[in-house]
Structure 1
Amino acid sequence: MAADPYTTLGVARGADEAAIKKAYRKLAKELHPDRNKDNPKASEKFSQVTQAYDLLTDKDKRARFDRGEIDADGNPSMPFGYGGGAQQGGFRPGPGADFGGGGGADFEDLLGGLFGRGGGFSSSFGRRQQPKGANAAYRLSVPFVDAATLAPQRITLADGKTIDLKLPAGVETGTQMRLTGKGQPGPGGAGDAIITIEIQSHRFFTRDGDDIRIDLPISLSEAVLGASVRVPTADKAVMLTIPKGSTSGKVLRLKGKGFHKKSGGQGDQLVTLMVDLPVDDDALVEFVQGWPGKDRNPRGGMDV
């Protein structure tokens, strides 16, 4: 039987989802197989931490575990101690109970209701469900642009089979995806594969929530006179209008060019203009030296 999931993650029983997620990320980072290739115990512990996280972030399973209806493996518990008799805490029928089919309560239906969906009992009364195999943990590194455009990702499982994954809207580093029945084999069937997503950094894009940011170099003439320039996005390059008199730090917005949102739609791309001046341009130096506005103080509003 798996250890108590609260103990495994090191959180209090009343911990909220944010605390559970924070504890999981810390442990998953420490115990990840890629960082502990020579320590098989770390890999085993990583699987235990992932299993505990899965149970505690499933509201229905967590409630059932807290009520004692299921154990830490998700298997039904035995609240009546069936088979022990009355002296060992077994179930004792009250007055008027009828288990002979004469119109009284159906004992097996009664117990089945206590164990939630699936019952936990087979047609042979009192037999527990066979446990499934352990979940298998994977970490998938996804390119920034693929995450923004939800491009399918191919992953190779431990059995050598490859699967193309469809990324969910709102995907971020730490997002987990579950592949049912792709974990370790067990008497009651295979466990699941739990895939944790890690989004790679990009050489000029950065993420800001559902938005994407980029610093865009522009020339002095484009800044002063205005222009229409090509700018890269996660999808493809588009044309952007630079207003006349633009300065470094001015932010322009490209609607719908960000990450896909969980709630639907997409974020935006925020373009920060950066005026790029040429180095050792004698003509530009001569022009500025003779420019009447060269002595203007752009920091006057800062009292300096």
Structure 2
Amino acid sequence: MAQSTDNTAHLDPYEALGLSKTATQAEIKKAYRKLVRTSHPDINPDDAGAEARFVQISAAYDLLKDPDTRARFDAGEIDASGQEKPQRQYYRDYAQNQRSTRDSAGFEGMDPDDIFAQMFRQRSGGAQQGHGFSARGRDVGYTLEVPFLDAARGGSAHISLPGEGQIDLKIPVGLRDGQTLRLRGKGGEGFGGGPRGDAQVKIHIQPHPLFRREDDTILLTLPITLDEAILGAKVTVPTIHGDVALTIPKGSSSGKVLRLRGRGVERKGQAGDQLVELRIVLPKTVDDKLAACIEEWAKTNTENPREAMLKGVPR
């Protein structure tokens, strides 16, 4: 890595910034700010050449940002490496002269437009000082399937990471599909002694045969018999926290939704609800007694549940 830093530091600084020698100081600063945003290794974790480009850009800007140092380079008095980088001494002298201003006013005395770029350069771990590039390792992405109930109620899982073996992963209560869990320091190795990156584990929640979920609400379709729908009943209903009793009102139709408060997903100390949609299921075999009963009942019942629907369609 140190060899790569030395090679990039000696490239022509104008070429590194994509400028000609006639560029103004404002154009140099603008080019640097643009490039540092697109070339920093943290922004390009999948680009193996990003750190080398960042070193090259930083070294070029160090040389050209000060008009006096730039003039010495243009006159041939110093080379692209800066000849022991005398511009750093200039910067220290300048920093001493401006220390009182910075100490008393935070960023005051510093070009506000350059604050963003300066923060990136500080995070580079001293690459512009010519002592070898140092940076945090790249984050590495993984995916993990989690059972529905573990995601809703919380639990634990295991994930195997390269070079780490099996890692225990805590599943927080109310974990959502597509959410990412971060394992700090379990990502790519750092550069030049920098810290390791993180492992980012994207969660895919497995479907459940009974339950569905919308935010913190649990949805369940509950089959009921014809007599339970007509006469009403008290039945046992599964929830993610265990079975509970549910009263079915007399005369319930398919599609009716009943609410079980506090039986949904708990998040931030507050639990959602469970919604139970009723679905009438007829017996597999309709015997003569049931058929005769319905026929007799239909003689006196003329209500048509589709009447309003049919009126709404023009003919």
| TM-score, normalised via structure 2 length | 0.61
- Equivalent position of 1:104 in the other structure: 97
Asked if 1:162 is matched to 2:166, the reply is: yes
- Equivalent position of 2:279 in the other structure: 274
Instruction: Decide whether aligned partners of structure 1 residues 303 and 103 sit closer, same or farther in structure 2, where only a CA change above 3 A counts.
Output: closer
Q: 2:263 aligns with which of 257, 260, 272?
A: 257
For structure 1, which segment, 185-194 or 220-229, has the greater mean C-alpha deviation from structure 2 after superposition?
A: 185-194
Instruction: Decide whether aligned partners of structure 1 residues 73 and 260 sit closer, same or farther in structure 2, where only a CA change above 3 A counts.
Output: farther
Please give the residue correspondences for 1:107-146 in structure 2 after superposition, counting only pairs within 5 Å. Answer: 114-115=118-119, 119-122=123-126, 125=129, 127=131, 129-146=133-150
1:119 offset after TM fit, Å?
4.8
Listed as ranges, the gaps of 5+ residues in structure 2 are 2-32, 43-50, 75-79, 104-109
Higher helix share goes to which structure? 2
Which has the larger Rg?
Answer: 2
Q: Is 1:132–1:186's contact at 8 Å kept on the other side of the alignment?
A: yes
- Equivalent position of 2:247 in the other structure: 241
Q: Is 2:155–2:172's contact at 8 Å kept on the other side of the alignment?
A: no
SS in structure 1 opposite 2:143?
A: strand
Please tell me the root mean square deviation across aligned C-alpha atoms, in Å.
3.9
1:214 offset after TM fit, Å?
1.2
Please give the residue correspondences for 1:54-69 in structure 2 after superposition, counting only pairs within 5 Å. Answer: 68=36
- Amino acid corresponding to residue 305 of structure 2 in structure 1: P
- Equivalent position of 2:303 in the other structure: 296
Instruction: Decide whether aligned partners of structure 1 residues 123 and 220 sit closer, same or farther in structure 2, where only a CA change above 3 A counts.
Output: closer
SS in structure 2 opposite 1:270?
A: strand
- Amino acid corresponding to residue 192 of structure 1 in structure 2: D
Q: Is 1:251–1:273's contact at 8 Å kept on the other side of the alignment?
A: yes
Paired positions, count: 236
Q: Is 2:178–2:203's contact at 8 Å kept on the other side of the alignment?
A: yes
Asked if 1:225 is matched to 2:231, the reply is: yes
In structure 1, distance between residues paired with 2:284 and 2:96: 96
In structure 1, distance between residues paired with 2:61 and 2:121: 20
Instruction: Decide whether aligned partners of structure 1 residues 132 and 301 sit closer, same or farther in structure 2, where only a CA change above 3 A counts.
Output: same
In structure 1, distance between residues paired with 2:219 and 2:238: 11
- Amino acid corresponding to residue 240 of structure 2 in structure 1: A
Instruction: Decide whether aligned partners of structure 1 residues 69 and 232 sit closer, same or farther in structure 2, where only a CA change above 3 A counts.
Output: same
In structure 2, distance between residues paired with 1:182 and 1:168: 19
Q: Is 2:151–2:172's contact at 8 Å kept on the other side of the alignment?
A: no
Percentage of pairs with the same residue: 37
SS in structure 1 opposite 2:98?
A: coil
Listed as ranges, the gaps of 5+ residues in structure 1 are 2-64
Q: Per-residue displacement from partner, 1:211-237 (whole Å, max 9, x unpaired)? A: 221110011222122221111112211
In structure 1, distance between residues paired with 2:132 and 2:119: 11
- Equivalent position of 1:287 in the other structure: 293
In structure 2, distance between residues paired with 1:102 and 1:227: 82
Asked if 1:216 is matched to 2:222, the reply is: yes
In structure 2, distance between residues paired with 1:66 and 1:271: 55
In structure 2, distance between residues paired with 1:212 and 1:98: 62
Q: Per-residue displacement from partner, 1:173-198 (whole Å, max 9, x unpaired)? A: 22112211112324323222111111
SS in structure 2 opposite 1:68?
A: helix
Q: Per-residue displacement from partner, 1:227-267 (whole Å, max 9, x unpaired)? A: 21111112211111111111111001112222344x66233
Q: Is 2:180–2:202's contact at 8 Å kept on the other side of the alignment?
A: yes
Q: 1:200 aligns with which of 202, 206, 210?
A: 206
SS in structure 2 opposite 1:303?
A: helix
In structure 2, distance between residues paired with 1:72 and 1:118: 11
